[in-house]
Amino acid sequence: MHPCLRAFIRQYVAVIVGALVPVVLTTFLSASMNFGTFSGDRHTATVAIARHLT
Protein backbone atom coordinates (compact mmCIF):
# COMPACT_ATOMS: atom_id res chain seq x y z
CA MET A 1 0.00 0.00 0.00
CA HIS A 2 1.26 3.45 -0.85
CA PRO A 3 2.47 5.42 2.20
CA CYS A 4 0.29 8.42 1.34
CA LEU A 5 -2.78 6.21 1.10
CA ARG A 6 -1.97 4.61 4.43
CA ALA A 7 -1.61 8.04 6.06
CA PHE A 8 -4.88 9.19 4.49
CA ILE A 9 -6.79 6.14 5.74
CA ARG A 10 -5.35 6.51 9.23
CA GLN A 11 -6.30 10.21 9.31
CA TYR A 12 -9.77 9.48 7.90
CA VAL A 13 -10.47 6.79 10.52
CA ALA A 14 -9.23 9.10 13.28
CA VAL A 15 -11.67 11.82 12.20
CA ILE A 16 -14.60 9.38 12.00
CA VAL A 17 -13.86 7.89 15.42
CA GLY A 18 -13.30 11.35 16.89
CA ALA A 19 -16.71 12.44 15.60
CA LEU A 20 -18.56 9.32 16.76
CA VAL A 21 -17.19 9.04 20.30
CA PRO A 22 -18.88 12.22 21.63
CA VAL A 23 -22.15 11.29 19.93
CA VAL A 24 -22.17 7.80 21.44
CA LEU A 25 -21.23 9.08 24.90
CA THR A 26 -23.87 11.80 24.81
CA THR A 27 -26.53 9.36 23.66
CA PHE A 28 -25.66 6.79 26.32
CA LEU A 29 -25.56 9.31 29.16
CA SER A 30 -28.68 11.23 28.13
CA ALA A 31 -30.69 8.04 27.63
CA SER A 32 -29.79 6.94 31.14
CA MET A 33 -30.86 10.29 32.56
CA ASN A 34 -34.13 10.30 30.58
CA PHE A 35 -35.06 6.80 31.72
CA GLY A 36 -34.24 7.68 35.31
CA THR A 37 -31.84 4.78 35.80
CA PHE A 38 -28.48 3.64 34.56
CA SER A 39 -28.09 0.77 32.13
CA GLY A 40 -26.78 -1.62 34.79
CA ASP A 41 -29.54 -0.96 37.32
CA ARG A 42 -32.26 -3.52 37.86
CA HIS A 43 -35.70 -2.35 36.77
CA THR A 44 -38.68 -3.07 38.98
CA ALA A 45 -41.95 -3.87 37.31
CA THR A 46 -44.67 -1.45 38.37
CA VAL A 47 -47.76 -2.90 36.73
CA ALA A 48 -51.10 -1.55 37.80
CA ILE A 49 -54.15 -3.78 37.91
CA ALA A 50 -55.99 -3.44 34.62
CA ARG A 51 -59.70 -2.83 35.07
CA HIS A 52 -62.34 -2.78 32.40
CA LEU A 53 -64.97 -0.10 32.34
CA THR A 54 -67.66 -2.61 31.39
Q: State yes or no: pLDDT of 26 exceeds 70.
A: yes
Question: How confident is the model at residue 49, as a pLDDT?
Answer: 67
Question: Domain limits at 40?
Answer: 1-54
In residues, how long is the chain?
54
DSSP tally for the chain: helices H, then strands E: 1, 0
* CA proximity to 40, closest of 32, 30, 52, 51: 32
Residue 27 CA to residue 10 CA, distance in Å, equals 26
Query: For position 15, what pLDDT does the model report?
Result: 97
Instruction: Tell me which residue of 46, 2, 6, 39 sits closest to 24, measured CA to CA.
Output: 39
Q: What is the pLDDT of residue 52?
A: 65
Q: How many domains does the chain have?
A: 1
The mean per-residue pLDDT over the stretch 23-46 comes to 73
Please state the rounded mean pLDDT for residues 40-48: 64
Tell me, what's the pLDDT at 54? Answer: 65
pTM: 0.55
